[in-house]
């Protein structure tokens, strides 16, 4: 019998592999000259647009009734001909039948859905960790399916992630695939053989290490330092861009991922956490916000009823949550 969401899982893998290839091709050819700064001052590259066009196009062809909540839109591209031409060329280098400029811009804008509590929709971050991508470090192509507010399928391409975190020379490229109640698996981009992964066994926070963003503006690193001290964690933090941090927790390379808000007004985006939270929970771990509340993906494009993120191997979650509360409420 075909497993639940088998079709979505397979299409999602195909789309994420193609988009990841596009990103790698961009990195090898360009990169910085083709970067724009968005209104919120974050960078966006031809690869972000191209990857969103590719994934949206493939998903829309396979599931024409499914709306998509995607990070990017085509507004800036429509005002910049040379960037637009580059995105068209790139997109057509990975899709099966060449698409017109209009089809590509329209595919990007399929990502404008508002989300919400009812029905099914996909959410896409075509490149999560654009800053890491530009540095040649970690980034991820993140696609998930949400049904009635619950994440059911997650596919995350991490082209630069070493298969063995302790050996930077180990093979790079990790594709993580999770379906609700079916576990989370890791494979390479080339070989479809999948290996089931599990979170770390650590019974105590001091037996593990934690990971956090490279960017001090995205997570308060002086608070995480105090939290680690309180938990008697001696290992240095693993600093890494993007949702690769969730993959690292799901694979058991680290026991804790902390994202402590730096600004009261920042709302986390659903495409930054949907896939990661399913991967960690399917690997046996736990994800909540810093108040211990479950992440609520039914609130629209953002996680407006949550603050910050704590992801752990599960066993140590309450200890970590208590330490976070102590440090933040002091
Ligand atoms: N002030 C902020 N707090 C938390 N996350 C942020 C903040 N500003 C941007 N981000 C988001 O953090 C993500 C990168 O995470 P990390 O630092 O862990 O690699 C990006 O998706 C980025 O969103 P955006 O794409 O809008 O720039
Ligand atoms: Mg961005
Ligand atoms: Mg992101
Ligand atoms: Mg992004």
DSSP-assigned letters across all residues of 33-84:
GGEEE-TTS-EEEHHHHHHHHHHHHHHHHH-TT--EEES--SHHHHT-HHHH
Assign domain 6-196 one CATH number from 3.40.50.620, 3.40.50.300, 3.20.20.70, 3.30.540.10.
3.30.540.10
Could you tell me if 279 and 244 are in contact, meaning their C-beta atoms sit under 8 angstroms apart? no
Q: What is the pLDDT of residue 41?
A: 67
Mean pLDDT of 195-217: 97
CA–CA dist 287, 317 (Å, integer)? 8
Q: What is the pLDDT of residue 38?
A: 75
Tell me the CA–centroid distance for residue 218 and ligand 1, in Å: 5
- Size (the chain), residues: 330
Q: What is the pLDDT of residue 166?
A: 83
Tell me the CA–centroid distance for residue 151 and ligand 3, in Å: 17
pLDDT digits (tens, 9 = 90+) for 63-91: 999 999 999 999 999 999 988 999 999 99
Q: Classify the C-alpha dihedral 42-24-248-237 as positive or negative.
A: negative
Residue ranges of the domains in the chain? Answer: 6-196, 205-328
Any catalytic annotation for residue 48? Answer: yes
List CB-based neighbours of ion ligand 4 within 5 Å: 71, 125, 127-128
pLDDT level of residue 33 (50, 70, 90 thresholds): low
Any catalytic annotation for residue 201? Answer: no
Tell me whether strands 286-288 and 309-312 are parallel, antiparallel or unpaired.
Answer: antiparallel
Which of 45, 48, 109, 241 does the annotation list as catalytic? 48
3-state secondary structure 89-141: HHHHHHCCCCCCHHHHHHHHHCCECCCCCCCEEEEEEEEECHHHHHHCCCCEE
Note if the pTM is more than 0.90: yes
Assign domain 205-328 one CATH number from 3.40.50.300, 3.40.47.10, 3.40.190.80, 3.30.450.20.
3.40.190.80
Strand partners, 35: 45
CA–CA dist 305, 74 (Å, integer)? 28
Sheet with 172-179, side-by-side order of all strands: 68-70, 120-128, 140-147, 150-162, 172-179, 183-187, 195-196
Residue nearest to atom 1 of ligand 1 (CA): 218
Residue 32, pLDDT > 70, answer no
| Helix axes of 46-62 and 81-94: crossing angle, nearest 10 degrees | 50
Which of 45, 130, 208, 312 does the annotation list as catalytic? 130
**Residue ranges lining ligand 1, Cβ < 6 Å:** 40, 42, 128-129, 213, 215, 217-218, 241-242, 262-263, 266, 272
Torsion-angle region of residue 136: left (phi > 0), alpha (psi -120 to 50) or beta?
A: left
Q: Of all atoms in ligand 1, which is nearest to the CA of residue 217?
A: 1
pLDDT digits (tens, 9 = 90+) for 246-276: 999 999 999 999 999 999 999 999 999 999 9
pLDDT digits (tens, 9 = 90+) for 117-157: 999 999 999 999 999 998 899 999 999 999 999 999 999 99
Is 312 strand, coil or helix?
strand
| Cβ neighbours for 314, distance < 8 A, ≥ 6 positions apart | 199, 284, 285, 286
pLDDT level of residue 330 (50, 70, 90 thresholds): low
| 237 DSSP 8-state letter | P
194 annotated as ligand-binding: no
Q: Which of 330, 279, 276 is nearest to 303 (CA)?
A: 276
């Amino acid at each position: 019998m075909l497993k639940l969401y088998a079709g979505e899982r397979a299409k999602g893998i195909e789309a994420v592999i193609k988009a990841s290839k596009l990103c790698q091709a961009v990195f090898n050819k360009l990169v910085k000259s083709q970067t724009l700064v968005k209104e919120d001052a974050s960078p966006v590259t031809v690869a972000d647009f191209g990857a969103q066009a590719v994934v949206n196009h493939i998903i829309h062809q396979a599931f024409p009734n499914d709306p998509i909540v995607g990070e990017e839109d085509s507004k800036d591209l429509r005002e910049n001909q040379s960037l637009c031409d580059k995105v068209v060329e790139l997109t057509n280098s990975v899709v099966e039948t060449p698409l017109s400029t209009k089809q590509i811009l329209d595919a990007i804008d399929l990502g404008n859905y508002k989300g919400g509590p009812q029905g099914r929709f996909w959410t896409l971050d075509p490149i999560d960790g654009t800053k890491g991508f530009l540095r040649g470090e970690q980034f991820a192509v993140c696609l998930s399916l949400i049904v009635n507010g619950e994440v059911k399928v997650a596919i995350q391409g991490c082209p630069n992630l070493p298969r063995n975190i302790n050996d930077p020379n180990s093979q790079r490229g990790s594709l993580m695939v999770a379906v609700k109640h079916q576990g989370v698996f890791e494979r390479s981009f080339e070989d479809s053989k999948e290996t089931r992964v599990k979170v770390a066994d650590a019974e105590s926070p001091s037996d593990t290490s934690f990971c956090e963003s490279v960017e001090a503006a995205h997570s308060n690193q002086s608070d995480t330092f105090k939290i680690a001290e309180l938990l008697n964690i001696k290992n240095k933090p693993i600093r890494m861009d993007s949702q690769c941090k969730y993959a690292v927790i799901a694979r058991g390379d680290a026991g804790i991922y902390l994202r402590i808000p730096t600004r009261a007004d920042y709302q986390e985006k659903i495409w930054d956490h949907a896939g990661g939270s399913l991967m960690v929970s399917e690997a046996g771990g736990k994800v909540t916000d810093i108040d211990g509340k479950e992440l609520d993906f039914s609130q629209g494009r953002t996680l407006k009823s949550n603050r910050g993120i704590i992801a752990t191997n599960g066993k140590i979650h309450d200890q970590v949550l208590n330490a976070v509360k102590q440090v933040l409420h002091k």
